[in-house]
Structure 1
């Protein structure tokens, strides 16, 4: 039955054409945005996931900036620490030169003071964007934002790389030890603190005359035992008739004094270790290798054994005094002990040797700590960069359009659209055939 009121063919053709036009519009939107999911209506779950991941990418961009800032700050601190280590090594060279005979120690001390000022200048300049990690003004760790951690429940927490500050300030409070001025009551009392082959001497005149000094023949040893320890007790060893190197070559006979004032927390081993280190540093710096050696021994590590292989006898003297003041430094460390170094005297020159080794170790440890932190920050920075690329790739795989497929689909839809228009036109022409029935 034909009807001029209801054209089923036209209705079908019209719905088909509407569907084609809708698909064509979607395809054109994909082409213009480059995304197969550009809004929530396209695919709500995929769109939501992609937006969360996009926010993480933005966050990691900020983290990358934070890591770059931290890396630059650490690079400055590490470079400064290495420079300070070099300057301290130069100071050690000056101190070693002061151990020899026939040198102008006053001029050497002037050079040491100049190098100390240079270290102070380096410390002051070692800042990046106002943050200085080596000036000792703060003990708080520097925290570098390193990651955003998203848990399975969607909550996010920040992770940090903590960098410990290293104080290399030469202005850190420190004081030199002050040797006691009160002799022990007698030789027996003195021997309770330190004893050797003969009784411990108790006055300066004994050094001058050689009284109560132990003669150590070529090939022989002398063992000195540190006994009781109390705060302020001053331990002194003197080595006489040593073959000490002379500037320009050769050697001369000379004496050296080694001193240590015990602190409240020192043990017999601490006292023995400090004296041994002073003697060992002097032997290495100012005498020929093999002439003299010193070793630490005993059950409690409180015995100092001095060996003589120089070819001639030497004398070893001991002295105990009370009422001294132990050297002190700020608890935060620093290089303040540089201000207490004074090589203008024999005792000051020998004490400076062991002191400078400790300061060099401190600066080396600081440089190593900053270098290690630098490596961590650089590694994390590389990881964040790689992770960001992976997140972007993941987002793209979910929402980006396949442009080859979209191009083919566009052409197909355009053909379908043309056919749909023709089909609709033919369906609309169908009622015209009814006119022939009324002619």
Structure 2
């Protein structure tokens, strides 16, 4: 039966044409974007997975830049330490020559002083982007990885580089410019720290002067820092924290607060002790006066080969100094090698992550091209079928002629 109210053939042809057009639009989108999953509508699960992987890839590219910066910094320190070691060997040769009685030791002493000053110049210049690993103590963390757990939790991993203080000149702790006020609460200075007790040290200052010194004494050990040119209160508190952390005192936790704002005039260092029982750890001092601190090569200042006794003492001391330089160069060399290995791994990891994203989301262009040709033919046939179906009701008119 032919109906003038319902053209079933045209309805079927129209539905088929709509389906073809929808598939054709999808293929054209894949070809234009190069992706089979361009947004969450295309495939929500694949989109979610690929977006997380892309986020990790972007993060690791940033980590690669951090590693390259750290690699350059450590490379500068290693090269400087090797040069310092070479100069120390030159000083040793002069000291050996000074052992002779029939030689002008005053001239040798002058040469030693020049080489010593050159060591200072090298150490002071051994910085990259403002970071010098041959001055001061503590350590520097270089971001090396982001570790994603099965539950999606992300934690940062670091490569820790210990500073090697190859400075010659020793600095004397004094009251400095008196810019800093130190306030201790929670635990009195000079008392024993018992389980769970906390010492809160608040440093207040509007400015820090170069040479101003700071000391915290725990368990009979002094942790010192001498402010350098350009230091802020935040730098002081961070450096003190690094020194205590590096000591690895059991059951001691050190927290630095109010150090994120470079304009802050109050920074807080909190020391908590929680061994689970009574202790004999004492909190003896927290101020900015007293004591001395110097570089690992400070002994060079005592060299005086103008006398036989001085020459003999210098010969004894120089071996330890050379070993200090060798140890520093070796430590930086090992760290540099590790950073290089990590940087190569991160680069390979980023490449593999991007390959994985591509496998998940990229369109198969060859297949899409073939599908496009097929769908274009289907579209033309669908239009023809719809046109034929639309003409069917016209045959009814012939019945009334």
Query: Do both proteins adopt the same fold according to a TM-score greater than 0.5, normalized to the shorter chain?
Result: yes
For 1:28-47, list aligned pairs within 5 A: 28-47=28-47
Task: Determine which of 341, 346, 360 is the counterpart of 1:384.
Answer: 346
Q: 1:120 maps to what in 2?
A: 120
Counterparts in 2 of 1:166 and 1:145: CA distance versus 1, 3 Å? same
Q: What displacement does 1:330 show?
A: 6.6
Which residue, out of 365, 368, 393, partners 1:403?
365
CA distance in 2, matches of 1:172, 1:397: 60
Please give the residue correspondences for 1:167-186 in structure 2 after superposition, counting only pairs within 5 Å: 167-172=165-170
> Which secondary structure does the structure 2 equivalent of 1:370 belong to?
helix
C-alpha distance in structure 2 between counterparts of 1:336 and 1:399, whole Å: 61
Q: Report runs of 4+ in structure 1 exceeding 4 Å deviation.
A: 329-333
| Aligned-partner Cα distance in 2 for 1:330–1:389 | 51
Distance 1:332 1:157 in 2: 37
Determine if contact 2:170/2:293 at 8 Å carries over to the other structure.
no
For 1:2, the equivalent position in structure 2 comes to 2
Instruction: Map 1:246-261; keep pairs closer than 5 Å.
Output: none
- 1:385 Cα shift? 0.3
Q: Is contact 1:23-1:413 (8 Å) kept?
A: yes
Are 1:146 and 2:152 counterparts? no
Query: Contact 2:168 / 2:295 at 8 angstroms: preserved in 1?
Result: no
1:140 deviation in Å?
Answer: 2.2
Per-residue Cα deviation, 1:204-238 (whole angstroms, up to 9, x for no partner): xxxxxxxxxxxxxxxxxxxxxxxxxxxxxxxxxxx
Deviation at 1:331, TM superposition (A): 6.9
Query: TM-score, normalised to structure 1's length?
Result: 0.63
Structure 1: gaps of 5 or more residues: 175-328
Aligned to 1:342: 304
Contact 2:64 2:343 in 1 (8 A): yes
Give me the whole-angstrom Cα distance separating, in 1, the residues matched to 2:52 and 2:324: 47
Asked whether 1:356 is paired with 2:318, we answer yes
CA distance in 2, matches of 1:9, 1:131: 79
Distance in 2, Cα, partners of 1:354 & 1:420: 99
Residue 391 of structure 2 is matched in structure 1 by: 429
- Deviations 1:11-38 (Å, cap 9, x if unpaired)? 0000000000000011111111110011
Contact residue 173 and residue 336 of structure 1 kept, 8 A: no
Q: Give the equivalent residue in structure 1 for 2:19.
A: 19
Tell me the distance in 2 between the aligned counterparts of 1:39 and 1:97. 77
Q: State the SS of the aligned residue for 1:99.
A: coil
In the alignment, is the contact (CA less than 8 A) between 1:98 and 1:105 conserved in 2? yes
Distance 1:330 1:386, change over 3 A: farther
5 Å matches for 1:262-411? 334-411=296-373
Q: Distance in 2 between matches of 1:398 and 1:172?
A: 61
Shift of 1:101: 3.1
Deviations for 1:300-341, whole angstroms, at most 9, x for unmatched residues? Answer: xxxxxxxxxxxxxxxxxxxxxxxxxxxxx9777510100101
Mapped contact 2:135–2:295 kept (Cα < 8 A)? no
Which residue is equivalent to 2:109? 109
CA distance in 2: counterparts of 1:333 and 1:409, whole angstroms: 73
Alignment-derived partner of residue 85 in structure 2: 85
Q: How far apart are the structure 1 equivalents of 2:170 and 2:296? A: 6
* SS of equivalent residue, structure 2 residue 296: coil
- Kept in 1, the 8 Å contact 2:109–2:304? The answer is yes
Aligned positions, number: 283
SS of equivalent residue, structure 1 residue 101:
coil
The structure 1 residue matched to 2:161, chosen from 149, 160, 163, is: 163
Aligned twin of 2:186 = none
- 8 Å CA contact 2:171, 2:293 repeated in 1: no
How high is the TM-score relative to the length of structure 2? Answer: 0.69
2:156 match: secondary structure: strand
Question: How far off its partner does 1:432 sit?
Answer: 1.3
Q: 1:163-242 counterparts in 2 under 5 A?
A: 163-172=161-170
Distance 1:330 1:409 in 2: 80
Aligned-residue RMSD, C-alpha: 1.4
Distance, in Å, in 2 between the alignment partners of 1:63 and 1:146 is: 6
